[in-house]
Amino acid sequence: MSFAIWALIIGVLLITMALSGTSLQRLPVSTAMLYLLAGFGIGPAGWALLSPDPLIHSVILERTTELAVLISLFAVGLKLGLPLSDKGWRVTARLAVVSMSITVMLIAAIGMLGLGLSLGAAVLLGAILAPTDPVLASDVQVVEAGDRDRLRFSLSGEGGLNDGAAFPFVMLGLGLLGLHDLGTGGWRWLAVDVLWAIAGGLLIGGALGALIGRLVVYLRSHHKESVGFDEFLTLGLISLAYGLAVLSYASGFLAVFAAGLALQRVNETPGRIANPTPLETGLQRRQADEALATHTAYAGAYMTQAVKGFNEQLERIAEVAVVLVVGAMLSYTYLPASAVWFVPLVFLVVRPVSVWLGLVGAPVSRDQHILISWFGIRGIGSIYYLMYAINHGLPRRAAEEITALTLTVVAVSIVLHGISVTPLMSRYTRRTAKRQRSRKHD
């Protein structure tokens, strides 16, 4: 296909989304659903303009999905503004660690007993499907750093943490298949792939985000230097955190998430403007931006907002590209009728059970508990881990089975959650507002 035809297709799609974006927010339809449908239409089942065979093009698919997840993890980190001492983080951690681990075990058991998979393949399937997706979950995420809603914060934090926390289980599955060294008695897996990967990733990313963020704010507010190029700061910090973490055998995903979280914390204690005159003298836009960027009280806030805005645009572009490819890949998979039962089981049994067990005694309301159980959105993180496993020597038969299951679950998740997110979240928002008004009257 010529570049001109590709330009035409992408141009029509992007302009259509730009013109209809506001209307779509009021309808039970998500943008990801439309990208999925468009991808299926230009794939082998439709116009055959895109042919991303997952078993042939797994390397480029791994890199593409990896980049999309990294951008989204950084964006999630920038949005989570609750202090680390807040109890909301406890719920998030329990979802990302306890509930996710239970999900892996439940899916592994189902894979062995119901699908006839080997132990290694079953664990790998569980690890691929366990993480919730930070890319496709924007409608249930926090919008601003000050958002303290427990439902949105928990789902946002879970998506940010468990994409990295799932990696040890992926390596465990590959190790059980003989494709990764687990060490005698699993010592290497526990010490390196679990303990160091998680702790090291969070430490490296947090340190880099805080250091670079404070350095930029210092240079801007005290020396009027390093102004502008916030796009370079975004891409540079993502790349630096990821590269250093991976070279250190730590989790690159957790490092990028922690870097975004730490960068946002640079703006935790803004001061007041001592003299607002420079901001009110009719400066041109560029001069006004520079005045804010170098102001002692607002340098941190301006940097965070600029980085966040650019990163959100990147996230949307990445969503378009990856979901289009996922839609096209559906033509290469076939889920046998004997395995169709697996898909509803993941959404209606595995997710609710894992959330219920993970949040026993947690301070969440009944509405929040139900919605957290439902919005276990699967997506691009699962596709990345699938491609990672294929590129690390996953046997063809197991690859075909796991690919069919993964793509089907992701596609169904995009459709079901896309249809339900607008009415469910609108209802939740109304009920939350009503309860808050009742408390004020009391």
Contact 307, 263 (CB under 8 A): yes
pLDDT at 45: 87
State the DSSP string of 414-430.
HHHHHHHHHHHHHHHHH
Which range has highest mean pLDDT (110-114, 144-148, 317-321, 331-335)?
110-114
pLDDT at 285: 56
> Who has greater pLDDT, 173 or 273?
173
Element (H, E) at 102: helix 100-114
Give 4's pLDDT tier (boundaries 50, 70, 90): confident
Candidate from 10-19, 296-305, 352-361 with smallest mean pLDDT:
296-305
Give 193's pLDDT tier (boundaries 50, 70, 90): very high
pLDDT at 2: 64
Rounded Cα–Cα distance for residues 264 and 397 (Å): 45
Best CA proximity match to 146, nearest among 270, 231, 271, 258: 270
For residues 278-286, give the mean pLDDT.
48
Question: What is the residue type of 347?
Answer: F
Candidate from 246-255, 280-289, 314-323, 431-440 with smallest mean pLDDT:
280-289
Give 166's pLDDT tier (boundaries 50, 70, 90): very high
Best CA proximity match to 404, nearest among 324, 338, 319: 338
Give 426's pLDDT tier (boundaries 50, 70, 90): confident
Question: Percent of the chain at pLDDT above 70?
Answer: 86
- How would you class 311 by CB atoms within 10 Å of its CB: exposed for 0-12, middle for 13-18, buried for 19 or more? buried
Question: Percent of the chain at pLDDT above 90?
Answer: 50
Rounded Cα–Cα distance for residues 417 and 104 (Å): 21
Q: Indicate the average pLDDT of the chain.
A: 86
Residue 288 has pLDDT above 60, yes or no: no
Residue 268 has pLDDT above 80, yes or no: no
pLDDT at 130: 95
Distances in whole angstroms, Cα of residue 218 to Cα of each of 107, 208, 286: 49, 15, 20
For residues 107-127, give the mean pLDDT.
97
Contact 368, 155 (CB under 8 A): no
Contact 373, 381 (CB under 8 A): no
Backbone angles phi, psi at 159, to 5 degrees: -65, -30
Residue 280 has pLDDT above 70, yes or no: no
Rounded Cα–Cα distance for residues 91 and 76 (Å): 16
pLDDT at 78: 87
Residue 223 has pLDDT above 80, yes or no: no
> Who has greater pLDDT, 25 or 342?
342
pLDDT at 190: 96
Q: Where are the alpha helices (DSSP H) in 143-229?
A: 150-165, 167-176, 187-188, 197-223
- How would you class 412 by CB atoms within 10 Å of its CB: exposed for 0-12, middle for 13-18, buried for 19 or more? middle
Question: What is the residue type of 373?
Answer: S
For residues 386-392, give the mean pLDDT.
97
Residue 396 has pLDDT above 90, yes or no: yes
Question: What is the residue type of 220?
Answer: R
pLDDT at 431: 86
**What confidence tens digit (pLDDT) does each residue in 300-324 have?**
666 777 787 788 888 888 888 899 9
For residues 206-226, give the mean pLDDT.
84
> Who has greater pLDDT, 159 or 2?
159
What pTM was estimated for this model as a whole? Answer: 0.89
Rounded Cα–Cα distance for residues 376 and 100 (Å): 10
Q: What sign results for the dihedral spanned by CA atoms 154, 155, 159, 164?
A: positive
For residues 230-248, give the mean pLDDT.
92
Distances in whole angstroms, Cα of residue 297 to Cα of each of 141, 215, 228, 271, 274: 28, 15, 17, 5, 8
pLDDT at 271: 42
pLDDT at 192: 96
pLDDT at 140: 80
**What confidence tens digit (pLDDT) does each residue in 407-425 have?**
999 999 999 988 888 888 8
For residues 255-266, give the mean pLDDT.
91
Residue 282 has pLDDT above 60, yes or no: no
Rounded Cα–Cα distance for residues 413 and 416 (Å): 5
For residues 87-93, give the mean pLDDT.
89
> Who has greater pLDDT, 228 or 426?
426
pLDDT at 270: 46
